[in-house]
Chains A and B, each alone.
Chain A
Amino acid sequence: MADSDEEYVGDVTEDEDDLQVTRGDNPRAKRKQRGGAEWELSRTWETLVEGADGTINSTVEGLLEAGKRKRLLKDTTPLQRGIIRHLILILDLSQSMSEKDLRPTRYLLTLRYAQEFVREFFEQNPISQLGVLGLRDGLALRVSDMSGNPTEHLTAIQALKTQDPKGLPSLQNGLEMARGALFHTPSHGTREVLFIYGSLLSSDPGDIHQTIDTLISDKIRVGIVGLAAQVAICRELCTRTNGGDETAYGVALNEQHFRELMMDVTTPPAAYSQKESSSSLLMMGFPSRTVESNPSLCACHSKPSRGGYLCSRCNSKVCNLPAECPSCGLTLILSTHLARSYHHLFPLINWVEVPWRRASRSSACFACGLSFPSVPLEDHWQMAENNTKGMSVSSRYECTACRNHFCIDCDLFAHEVVHNCPGCQSKSTPTRSDVANPPSGGMDITV
């Protein structure tokens, strides 16, 4: 499907849907992708119901709202997650990346998303390490080394933009190099590889199955985002390294979906079994910032600077956190970095839709004051109910802990950005605020 135009892609996806239905496996992917598939497959015009006023405004608004809401209904069971991650991002830089089926080209789009990915990755996983590799001319080349500093990766990826993709990619070479980079990482962190793979083949020097076996024994998980079509070896690679779970392999349908697939990886993966990642106690330093009257050299880059952080064990100066002390090897971190990961561990509970029956309790969103549609007469309830799944008929969403009602935008905002419930946080009964961010066992911390 090298020269596919957009229409063609559309056709293919429908076929795929049928295949998927008959196979009936892969439930997680199904849940996540259902909206996208329906959009393509379902007869959207049939869901349009004329409202009482003879227009379809209400239905269209409903569909928009349902779209927003869909992504929200994620699982909020507090899982153990691999907060400390080691991830190698491998970019396909081979000829197939010059295709223009993703605008402007696969290559440029991939680089752009890769930069966003790096930023988001460190946003979500501040104490993790990332490295970037490229596949070109049958070789794996190092784009940037494993480090916890996003700017290094960003500049390295930016530099790629001036080059052109060429040659064939080699999965095996990429994996071997990634394995080498991940080999020394401590066992308490995860070891992950993420491929952005635009080719339909891999030209390898040896037997890739052997490489896969070593990956499994090294507990390295591989995820792949394909840009063209599903490739058998990619699927096998993902399935086997993820303990039979196939969802780590996704093929992008369009630009949006591509981005979505990549960004999904930024969420820390659930820790599988204890065997895979042994938990341990890490020694970390919490340095304070100092400003000196005269500039001095920092230990990490040997550049003169006045501000910096002094390693709490050996007093070397580093200019950025998080970092590993260059002289004594202690992990230096800000307590805020740790706090940044807490929302993964204690997610905000999902809010529930409010039927008309209970809607009269509120007339405006608790958080932003947007007024809700008023409650119609009882006979009209039924008609409005069968609109769209996943959305609230009354446009209200209720936090089950504090029983306040919110609008869809605040719902999205609370769950995706703030991770706080405005209602629960605004009332002081401590039991309630605990419910909002569930098990707060020993989490009352002074910092």
Chain B
Amino acid sequence: MNSVDASEHYELGATDLPPSLLTIVIDTNPHAWALLEDSLPLSKAIANILVFINAHLACNYANEVAVVASHTQKAAWLYPSHNAPRNRSDHEGDVVMNGATDTTTPETNKYRPFRLVEEQVTRNLKEIMDSTTADDLRGNMSTMLAGALTLALSHTNRRTLAWAEEHGGANTEDAAAEGNGNGSTATNRYSASNEDERLQSRILVVSVSGSIDAAHQYIPVMNSIFACQRLSIPIDVCKLSGDAVFLQQASDATKGVYMALAEPRGLLQYLMMAFLPDQRSRRHLVLPTRVDVDFRAACFCHRRVVDVGFVCSICLSIFCEPPPGSDCMTCGTHLDIGDNAKPALLPRRKKKKKRVNGASGTGTPMSTPTPGP
């Protein structure tokens, strides 16, 4: 007879769960897609992804979606098209922003939000493809993954803030406190609020390029991954061809799903089965993750993959053997013994300069000087 017991503090409002935001990063490197032409051409893949987007939107009235293209030369928004106004005349841009495309005949066999996403994605993608010149492509096998991830994160951040503001969550409180000039650190603002009461965001990377060329983006990509980890945004990776080590690490670090598709033709089914469930449902599901993530590092000197390496204590560069002359090849610091070839940048010098600037500044309440000694 528990149901009659009034002592339970149950809350009706607590069951209202926040919607989720899905950001899809599509690798649009034409080279890589050309290799896939036989099994899964880009157009078909996009069609599949659009159905997947619709399925995501169908799951909840308030679910949101964003699509970023990670192209060879740039990363750009496909949906929503933020930057459109800058490229066009203002008037036209506004029309695009409102999503009211007057030119197309109203097609009503499709749920309207679905149609809006579809139109924008296909149009923007076409624009990108058209603007790609042969020059851009020559010998360029890379993709702007770091940029795409950073854009995706910025958008997520904006939507999370906006959502929290609309719903009077704890986040606004924090933001307001910060405004008062004695702000807390960023972590408080970004991670302190209850996870279930936030906008649930996740990022899906549909990747086709190999990892070799992404090496110069290593630090920015890693930075994005750590940001995701910190904000508990899972990065799901759907790998159609090739294998990218840092995407493996990304999904591993952020507890996302990693799948390398054996059969790219079945993209839609893979998407629906493995990538559609949001964080809340994922708690109940057993999802494919990679167990044997490659964590080995490559040394900076010979690019050998090493099990045991030497790390410079100053700049954390990895070497497979002690570098010649015991000088770090990255920062030039002389390691282990003897004098230093190059002096460290001393913070003291910087301090003196500041003292001059700061002397006339207002007082600080930080230290409480006792008139004593």
Contacts and interface: CB of A to CB of B under 8 A. Distances in A.
Q: Report if A and B touch in the complex (beta carbons < 8 A).
A: yes
Contacts of B105: none
Interface of A: 12-13, 16-21, 23-41, 63-65, 67-68, 70-71, 75, 77-80, 83-84, 116, 120, 123, 188-189, 226, 229-232, 235-236, 245-247, 249-251, 253-254, 256-257, 259-261, 263, 270-274, 278-291, 307, 309, 312-313, 330, 334-336, 338-343, 345-346, 362-370, 409-410, 412-414, 416-422, 424-428, 430, 433, 436-437, 440-447
Contacts of A30: 358, 361-364
B362 A37 contact: yes
Interface of B: 72-77, 80, 82-83, 85-86, 90, 140, 142, 144, 146-148, 150-151, 153-155, 157-158, 161, 176-188, 190, 211-212, 215-220, 222-227, 230-231, 245-246, 249, 253, 291-298, 300, 303, 306-319, 322-323, 326, 328-331, 333-336, 340, 343-348, 350-351, 354-355, 357-370, 372-373
Nearest to A415: B186
Contacts of B336: 278-281
In this complex, the member of A32, A256, A281 whose beta carbon has the largest number of chain B beta carbons within 10 angstroms is A281
A39 B333 CA distance: 44
A364 B150 contact: no
Given A286-B296, A418-B223, A444-B215, A367 B150 contact: yes
Pick the 8 closest A-B CB pairs, nearest first: A369-B82, A20-B363, A27-B358, A230-B368, A367-B154, A425-B147, A426-B147, A416-B186
B224 to A, nearest CB: 6
Contacts of B366: 26, 29, 32-33, 247, 250-251, 261
Contacts of B190: 417
Nearest to B143: A428
Nearest to A436: B220
A63 B176 CA distance: 11
A345 B315 contact: yes
B307 A286 contact: yes
B182 A270 contact: no
A79 B345 contact: yes
Nearest to A266: B185
Contacts of A425: 75, 144, 146-147, 150, 217, 220
B183 A34 contact: no
B359 A288 contact: no
Contacts of B373: 232, 236
A417 B186 contact: yes
Nearest to A254: B182
Contact of B354 (A27, A250, A313): A27
A224 to B, nearest CB: 10
Contacts of A421: 150
B292 A288 contact: yes
A430 B142 CA distance: 12
B307 A285 contact: yes
A17 B150 contact: no
A93 B142 CA distance: 56
Contact of B330 (A263, A366, A443): A443
Given A33-B364, A422-B154, A446 B82 contact: no
B191 to A, nearest CB: 9
A367 B90 CA distance: 19
A240 to B, nearest CB: 13
A249 B150 contact: no
B223 A63 contact: no
